[in-house]
Amino acid sequence: MKIQEHQPLYQTSGANPGSEELRCRVIRTFDDVAAVADQWESLVDQSEFSDVFATLRFARAWWSAYGKENHLHLVLVEDGSSNVRLIAPFYATVSAPKILRIIGDPRADYNSVISAKGDTAPVETLCAWLRQHSSWRICRFQNLPSESPFTQYFGRASDRTASQTQRIREWIATRAPLTYLSWQQNHPFMNREKLEELGGLFPGSHDRRKLNSLSRMGTIKYRCVKDTRECIAILPVLAKMHVAEWNSRGQESVFQAGETLTFYETLIGQLAPSGAIRFDVLVLKDEIIAAHFGFTWAGRVYYYKASFLTQFIKQSPGKLLLGFIMKEALASGLRELDMLMGLDEYKAQYASGIRATGCLRMYRSPQDMFSERLAWILNLAPHRLAFWQNAYRKILRRRAFSQTAGNPS
């Protein structure tokens, strides 16, 4: 029997009379989200890992830029008094309507299912609802913080310290639950102690040489911009620098996608009034030579998108700008500088730790699990086949060379 969306699907302690009853409700249009806006932001503040990417304002900006090509399947878990206990901001693309993802993927460095710290019953309710609902086949959740209720709930699916061999064995296990959680260490950060250590020393002798080299070209200064209009004015400058920098490496910049500027402009409009948006700039003779677009949220700086003018690469303006950001974060009393996704050498050099995130796969049926795994294997097969073909050719060449060397004509 198909269960209606508003019918209670899971009882938090069904064996006990009078136990609390939770239900799931689905929102299909983003306009309807406004009714739960206050509860959304309240849950973000109460969550185990409160991050800017989980906020309604970030979700609204992302949906404004990318939602027209997607279907919204936002699931609310509510109690009997219609209090929202969990928000699962799911969506599906037009091309893959039965694969659920979390709003913000891609573009958000963390993706979260939102609930209050320690409140596990709504997670169980959501999972029970997913098991009984037929509108999806696979859930693909990227970059779930280790503190996320989903990674906590499915924490046994894959040990964070497991070897690659153990993870592959779990992945192919046919008797395992229809979930697979893999861990990645890919989010370096600086805690308060590291900020005090590095920010207090900046600029060091190496940095001073770079700054002196720039100072000989003209007056150089650092600014942290939070005014909405000024942020909007700086955005095209960052985009132009980012395109030039990445193209010089033979790679494509995210700003070459038409909707990216729209997304950033909407982000500024959504988050700047609350003081969460920041543009850090390094200016030489009234020209911006390095810029960073990021966030300040809940005592944390998010180092989100940065670039610099490539003609100044010898002076390392990007690294100098990061030094000024550290110093500003220290002076502002912030507790952390989150350098977000990517283990670049300079990030690893400054980091006090690396935050773990999980990639979770949930399958509605064994057939869905096997079909995705088979597709992955078939997609990988041509690359592995080419590898072994090349290795075999090398062996044949070595044998031919040995035979020629051993039997000269």
Q: Are 153 and 138 contained in the same domain? A: yes
Q: Are 88 and 211 contained in the same domain? A: no
Is residue 236 in some structural domain? yes
Is residue 394 in some structural domain? no
Say if residues 134 and 5 touch (Cβ distance below 8 Å). Answer: no
Q: Are 168 and 199 contained in the same domain? A: no
- From first to last of the 409 residues of the chain, give the pLDDT tens digit: 232 333 333 333 333 333 478 999 999 999 999 999 999 999 999 999 999 999 999 999 999 999 988 999 999 999 999 999 999 999 999 999 999 999 999 999 999 999 999 898 999 999 889 888 888 988 898 899 888 887 877 765 555 566 666 656 655 555 554 677 777 888 999 999 999 988 777 878 888 899 999 999 999 999 999 999 999 999 999 999 999 999 999 999 999 988 999 999 999 999 998 899 999 999 999 999 999 999 999 999 999 999 999 999 999 999 999 999 999 999 999 999 999 998 888 888 889 999 988 888 888 887 777 777 777 667 755 555 566 566 666 666 666 655 555 554 4
Q: What is the CATH number of the domain that holds 68?
A: 3.40.630.30
Is residue 393 in some structural domain? no
Q: Are 179 and 245 contained in the same domain? A: no
DSSP secondary structure, 226-250, as one string = --HHHHHHHHHHHHHHHHHHHHHTT
75, β-bridge pairs: 26, 88
Q: Are 58 and 164 contained in the same domain? A: yes
Is residue 224 in some structural domain? yes
Is residue 329 in some structural domain? yes
Q: Are 58 and 161 contained in the same domain? A: yes
Q: Are 62 and 91 contained in the same domain? A: yes
Is residue 390 in some structural domain? no
Q: Are 99 and 247 contained in the same domain? A: no
16-38 burial code (b ≥16 CB/10 A, e <16): eeeeeebbbebbeebeebeebee
Is residue 378 in some structural domain? yes
Q: Are 136 and 258 contained in the same domain? A: no
Q: Are 41 and 150 contained in the same domain? A: yes
Q: Domain range spanning residue 249?
A: 189-354
Q: Are 154 and 41 contained in the same domain? A: yes
Alpha-carbon Rg of the chain, whole angstroms?
25
Q: How many domains does the chain have?
A: 2
Is residue 362 in some structural domain? yes
- Per-residue tokens: 166: 């153990």
Listed residues 308, 333, 354: the one ending a domain: 354
CA distance 26 to 76: 6
Residue with tokens 């993870």: 167
Which residue, among 294, 378, 380, has the nearest Cα to 337 in the 3D structure?
Answer: 294
List Cβ neighbours of 123 (8 Å cut-off, separation of 6 or more): 86, 113, 115, 149, 150, 152, 153
For residue 274, the 8-state DSSP code is: G
CA distance 324 to 393: 53
CA distance 291 to 224: 10
DSSP secondary structure, 292-331, as one string = EEEEEETTEEEEEEEEE-GGGGGG-HHHHHHHHHHHHHHH
Q: Are 199 and 282 contained in the same domain? A: yes
